[in-house]
Amino acid sequence: MQRSFDDLGVPLSETTFCVVDVETTGASALDGAITEIGAVKLRGGECLGTLQTLVNPGVSIPPEIIVLTGITEAMVLPAPRIDEVLPSFLEFLGDAVVVGHNVRYDLGFLNASLARAGRPRLSNRFVDTCALARRLLQDEVPDHRLSTLASRLRLGHRPTHRALDDALATGELLHTLLERAGSLGVLGLDDLLLLPTIQGHPELGKLRLTTRLPRRPGVYLFRGRGARVLYVGKATNLRARVRSYFSSEQRRKVNQLLREVESIDHIVCAGPLEAAVLEVRLIHQYMPPFNKRSKTWRRYAYLKLTLDERFPRLSVVRKVRKGDGALYLGPLPSTGAARLLAEAIETAAPIRRCTAKPPRQPRSAPCAPAQLGVSLCPCSGQVSDIEYRNVVQRLVRGLTTDPSLLLDPLADRMQLLATAERFEEAADTRDRAAALARALARQRRLESLRRSGRLEVEDAEGRRLVLGAGRLLDGPLFATDDAVDATDDGPIPRELADEVSCVAAWLDAEASRLRLVACDGELASPLPRLPSYEPRPRK
C-alpha cells in the first residue's frame, strides 16, 4: 500500500489506534493457536469501542498456560473458531494503526490465522509500546514488561493476562508514552513510527529542533554556533528526512554533526527539482564543512586543445579564455581527471606532447615520444603544417561529432595488448577509454541542454517548469531570463556545472513522466550513442 505524505503526517490527535492483545496456547504462531482476542479503539484520547471474544483453538491448552491466563478448555469449548471471529475483528480494526506490547507476537498469530483462512496478511501500520518505552523511559524502570510499566506509571488498568484487560492497559500506556514523546517534537504518525528506531541516540533531546519542519519537499540547513551553516541537504519530506538523522544511523560524521547543531532551518520548494537545484546553490554559497558533494567546483579543470597556435596541443587549464578559438572539454572533476583524458587522447591521436613553442630552426633530433612513434614532433621539422592540421582536424571531429575516431584506436590497442597477455597495460587502456567515453557523454548531454535555449516541461503533477540553457528559471530563488545566456557557445563555467548536471540528471530520470510544452532550441542529439568501456563487476 502506497503511503502518502498526508497519511503519514496525520496528527496523532487525529490518528485512530486499535490496541490489540491475543492470548494463545503458547509455542509459536505456526504451532500455537489463539484462545482470546481483545481490542480497544482509540482516537484523540477517547475510547471509540472495545471488542472481546474467546476463541476455540481446536487444540488442547497446556496446563501452564491455563495457570497463567485462567482460560480453561471448558471456557473455550463453546466459543467460535478463529475463522468465525476474523470477519468481525477485521471490520472492527479497519485501517486503524495497530498497537500492542511486543506487538509482533500478536501480529504473528493473527497473520498465521489469516493465512490458514485464505485471507491476506494485515497491511495496517503498527506501533510497539514496548519499543517506545525503551526509547522514552530508558533507565526509569528496571524492565519494560507491561506489568512493570503499569505499576511504575500508576496506570488505571493493570494487565491480568486476559486479552481485554491487557489491551486496556496497553492503551493507557500508549497515551502516557505519547505525552512523553510530545516533548521531543513527536506530533505526527510518521514521527511516532520512526521513534523506536532511535536507538538511545545521545542527541535525542535535539529532536525538538525538528518540530517546525513540514512534510513537504525542500532544502534543510543544519546550523551551528553563530548560525554557521554546517550541512545542506534536500528532501522530498523535510520532516521525515531530518528526523532520520537521529535513527539507527551510526556514522561518526553524522554523530559529530548532530553534536554541533544548534538550529535547523528549512526552505520549502515546489518539487524535487527545485530542491535539488537550491541545494547545489546553497552548498556553493556556504561551503558547509559536513558536505562533500558540490563543494569542489573551484578545483574543476578543463582540457584545452589550443587551436590558436600553429601546432595545436592539449593542455590542462583552470579557467576558460573566451574568444581564444580553443576547443574545451569540461569542466572535469580535477586536474588529474583532465590529465587522464589527455593521456587517452594522446594514445589515440599522434598530437604533439611537448609544451614548448616550436623553435624557428628545427632541432637536430625529434623528442622522445616522436622517437617512440606515439606522437608527431613539429620541433624537428619532420612534419608539415598540412599534415599536422589533418591530425588536428581529425581530433576535433573525434571530440565533437565522431568519437569513434578516438575510441576505436583505444579499443584496438586494448585488444592487441590483451591478445599479447599484457593485461595490466590493456586494463590501463580500457580505463582511459572509459574515462574518455564518460567525459564525451557528459559533455554532449550538458551542451545539448545549453543549446535547448528556453525549455518548458510539465511534470506528472501538472506543474510547469521553465529551464533556460540548462538552468532552472522562475521563482525568487532561481535564475532569471536575463541571467542566462543561451547563445554562449563556450564551455559551461565551473560554478554552473553542478547545477546543469543536476537538471540533466532530473530530466533523464523523469523523461517518461514529462510532457514537452515548448523548446526554443535544439533538444535531441543526432549523434549516435557512445559505447561504454566500464569494467564489468565481479560476481
**Partners of 317 in the beta sheet?**
302
Q: Which three cell numbers stand for residue 423?
A: 593485461
Alpha-carbon distances, residue 360 vs 70, 161, 285, 377 (angstroms): 109, 102, 49, 14
SS3 annotation, 205-223: HHHHHHCCCCCCCEEEEEE
Instruction: Fill in the amino acid letter for 162.
Output: R
Name the residue among 435, 462, 498 with its Cα closest to residue 298. Answer: 498
Tell me the C-alpha to C-alpha distance, in Å, between residue 460 and each of 6, 133, 511: 18, 42, 10
Residue 161 a catalytic site member: yes
Q: Decide if 37 contacts 20 (C-beta within 8 A).
A: yes
Cis peptide before 289 (omega within 30 of 0): no
Give the separation between CA 445 and CA 437, rounded to whole angstroms.
12
Left if phi > 0, otherwise alpha if psi is -120 to 50, otherwise beta: which for 134?
alpha
Q: Which residues contact 188 (CB under 8 A, 6 or more apart)?
A: 8, 9, 10, 11, 12, 215, 239
Under 8 Å between Cβ of 407 and 531: yes
Q: First vs last Cα of the chain: how many Å apart?
A: 34
Which one from 144, 157, 161, 284 is the annotated catalytic residue?
161
Phi first, then psi: what are they for 11, rounded to 5°?
Answer: -60, 145
What is the DSSP code (8-state) at residue 17?
Answer: E
- C-alpha closest to that of 8 among 171, 167, 215, 206: 215
Residues carrying an active site annotation:
161
